[in-house]
Structure 1
């Protein structure tokens, strides 16, 4: 019975650390430490190191979870009858994950991931992304030259927009600035179409020049000095 309790405690602590790791890395990126994760999870540092030998081992475990989630989104998208709607569902849902989790975005971009684990993840995800693009091409929903890699780089671009917003100050007069990346996603999605019967309405309004400069202004710049634009 004592051994069974220890196994249950070990499993519980591992799940606590995985959940805490995702939240800590989401907020602070991959520079956060395993000690930071342990404190956030409410477990001792020694307990953390018994479950994960180092931060990289924790990141590997988190990556497996993340790939599972992206794969599930891809299967949901492929189950949508309309290929264009499936493509849009994939891009919206995948970006919602990436932009809310800075650590996830860095890991999925290949940052701080062991090459063999990245390759294994790619082998699971890339064929499904290519299938999303391929069936949209066959349906005439996107331009003939569009490939799965184009969808990946659109996500990287939109995630960069989200990172700028996350690193910047609050924008006066705007409560939707965290959704700004979706404006540029829809501009790029429109660019995938071979023809347009109409222009899709953009989901988020543009920032004004003043709001843009307030967002991009370097926090290290002296008061009154703008970051170069």
Structure 2
């Protein structure tokens, strides 16, 4: 991954108009990647932001540089979610809050999985944020394990696959039922944190037409 453009952008003071353009590009890229995934191009982002392609390339040397700049904000958000969950005194509720927070993040952001994969090749400050997140999550799961409220054998390494499962549902149903993922996320959470008396499932099953649309291959 190229880091030259993003590192320079972080270190070099920007004029007010240049700073506004950079923030506009970042906000637009975040929206485009979240909605359409990592295949979005810098030209797409420039068009969506209403700026010239040259403006984008002056701030970011290539798409990898832009993605790396966004990585920092993603990990900051996930670390903040983990910190909020860790404040919950009840170990079961703490882990439930974190799981639903991550699932909600992925439901809104198609590019989350790719961002996590790229983190290992990012600049050291982002790797540190990733490691901090892993430590926070390990602590939350450890508390739940010590309290005997989490399914035996559950591990933080299970989270990426569970999150991908929720993401698949969210991507398939976003157009006609943007909250459908919550019903199936609840099933996963209850599987990780079994209850003696399970809660009633949230939402409603997809009707036949919605189910057929959701099961169509995604372009």
TM, length-normalised to structure 1: 0.80
| Structure 1 residues 8 and 211, CA gap change in structure 2 (3 angstroms) | closer
Alignment of 1:125-204 (within 5 A): 125-166=133-174, 170=176, 177-193=177-193, 196-204=195-203
Q: Which has the higher contact order (CA 8 A, sep 6+)?
A: 2
- State which drifts further: 211-220 or 96-105: 211-220
The answer to whether the Cα contact below 8 Å between 1:161 and 1:180 also exists between their aligned partners in 2 is yes
| Aligned residue among 55, 78, 95 for 2:86 | 78
Gaps of 5+ in 1: 171-176, 221-229
The answer to whether the Cα contact below 8 Å between 1:134 and 1:147 also exists between their aligned partners in 2 is no
Q: What are the Cα deviations for residues 75-96 of structure 1, in whole angstroms up to 9, with x where unaligned?
A: 0000111111111111222222
Give the deviation of 1:210 after TM superposition.
4.9
Q: Does structure 1 residue 101 correspond to structure 2 residue 115? A: no
Partner of 2:121: 116
- Alpha-carbon distance between aligned partners in 1 of 2:167 and 2:136, rounded to the nearest angstrom: 20
The answer to whether the Cα contact below 8 Å between 2:95 and 2:144 also exists between their aligned partners in 1 is yes
Displaced runs of 4 or more, over 3 A = 208-211, 217-220
Q: What are the Cα deviations for residues 19-74 of structure 1, in whole angstroms up to 9, with x where unaligned?
A: 01001112221111112112222222111111100111000001111010000000
- Alpha-carbon distance between aligned partners in 1 of 2:104 and 2:179, rounded to the nearest angstrom: 9
Paired residues, what number? 204
TM, length-normalised to structure 2: 0.83
- Alpha-carbon distance between aligned partners in 2 of 1:7 and 1:114, rounded to the nearest angstrom: 29
Gaps of 5+ in 2: 1-12
The answer to whether the Cα contact below 8 Å between 2:71 and 2:119 also exists between their aligned partners in 1 is no
Q: What are the Cα deviations for residues 113-159 of structure 1, in whole angstroms up to 9, with x where unaligned?
A: 26422981532221111111111111121123222222332212111
RMSD: 2.4
- Alpha-carbon distance between aligned partners in 2 of 1:186 and 1:20, rounded to the nearest angstrom: 31
Give the deviation of 1:6 after TM superposition.
5.8
- Alpha-carbon distance between aligned partners in 1 of 2:56 and 2:23, rounded to the nearest angstrom: 11
- State which drifts further: 79-88 or 65-74: 79-88
The answer to whether the Cα contact below 8 Å between 1:99 and 1:162 also exists between their aligned partners in 2 is yes
- Alpha-carbon distance between aligned partners in 2 of 1:136 and 1:155, rounded to the nearest angstrom: 19
